Amino acid sequence: SHGLGNSHEQFAQLSKQLEKAKERADLLYQRWLELEEKKAVDD
C-alpha cells in the first residue's frame, strides 16, 4: 500500500509547519518580553 508513504509526506509537512509556528511563537514571545520590560521601566 502506498498510503503509508502519503502519510509520511503529510507528517513531514506537518513537522515543517510546526517548526515555522514555533519560530514565530518564539519571536512573538521575545517581542512581548521586550514590551513588558519597557512597561516596567516606564512605571
Q: Cα separation of 12 and 28, whole Å?
A: 24
Alpha helices in 1-43 (DSSP H): 3-42
Domain enclosing residue 39, as ranges: 1-43
Number of domains in the chain: 1
pLDDT attached to residue 3: 62
Interval 1-43: pLDDT, tens: 566 678 989 999 999 999 999 999 999 999 999 999 999 988 7
pTM of the model: 0.64
| Residue 15 Cα distances to 1, 2, 8, 10, 11, angstroms | 23, 20, 10, 9, 6
Three-state DSSP class for residue 15: helix
